[in-house]
Structure formats: structure tokens, C-alpha cells
Amino acid sequence: MPELLTGDVAANQNVSANMKRSKFYVCPICGNVIHAMGEGAFSCCGLRLPPLEEEVPDGEHRITVETVEDEMFVSLNHPMEKGHFISFIAYVSDNGLQMEKLYPEQAAELRFRRMGPGKLFVCCNRHGLFRQTV
């Protein structure tokens, strides 16, 4: 209903949802994270959430990936302080999603079970979403 009122209706060209079109939405008030297999109209805390823009990893958001047997070890040399930290990392393949929440004071690293080719999404609470193909 809110999207009808604004006249800003999200209509996807892909009628069958597709992981390759994954979008992430983050509520700036409560930090809620929503994953969708395409653009949609999502609201949280009374705000309409735009999909996060995906940037190419730069400087402190550079992502290091090492494959160890059937796992992928992902790490970043990024601050993990209260006001500036990596808030989640997600690994999206053609048919799966693994996502882990990270917290300040924790290391910006984790392991995912390999699911084949896909994309890594890293979200910095200050600088937004970064995407890398794996």
C-alpha cells in the first residue's frame, strides 16, 4: 500500500525470483537487514528502504578470500569499532545464501561453506555495501 501512495511501484522483469538479482535493504534506525531476490518495496521503522547500492571494494574494504577444502575463509583489514564496523557478510550463489552478522570488537573474518561461484556482499555500517565475485 505505501508504494501505491508514493506512485513508486517496484516491478521486476524477472517473474521468477533469481539469486543473481539479490538486493539488500538495511534499516538506518534499527539495523534490520532484509535480503530479496530482486527489488521490492520494503519498510522498517516507518521508513521506505531503498536497496543498498553495490560498490567495488576499495582500500579498507578490500576483501581477502582463501579457499580451504570445502570452505571459503573471508577476511577484511577493516576497523571493528562501535561507530565503524563490518555489520554483515553474505555469500550468494545461484541457489543459496549464507549470511553472518558481525559486531564491533570482533574480527572482520568468517568462514562459509563453498556453494560454487557466486558473490560476496560486505556491508560497512558507515560506507555501505561492497560486492566481489568469488
In the complex, least distance from residue 76 CB atom to Fe ion, rounded to whole angstroms: 9
In the complex, least distance from residue 39 CB atom to Fe ion, rounded to whole angstroms: 25
Size of site (CB under 5 A) for Fe ion: 3
In the complex, least distance from residue 38 CB atom to Fe ion, rounded to whole angstroms: 27
Taking CB atoms, the residue at the shortest distance from Fe ion is 124
Q: What is the per-residue binding string for Fe ion in 94-133, x denoting contact by CB under 5 A?
A: ------------------------------x-xx------
Do the Cβ atoms of 125 and 85 come closer than 8 Å? yes
Q: Which of residues 13-52 bind Fe ion (CB under 5 A)?
A: none
Beta-ladder partners of 47: 44
Minimum CB distance to Fe ion smaller for 62 or for 127? 127
Give the residues lining the site for Fe ion (CB under 5 A): 124, 126-127
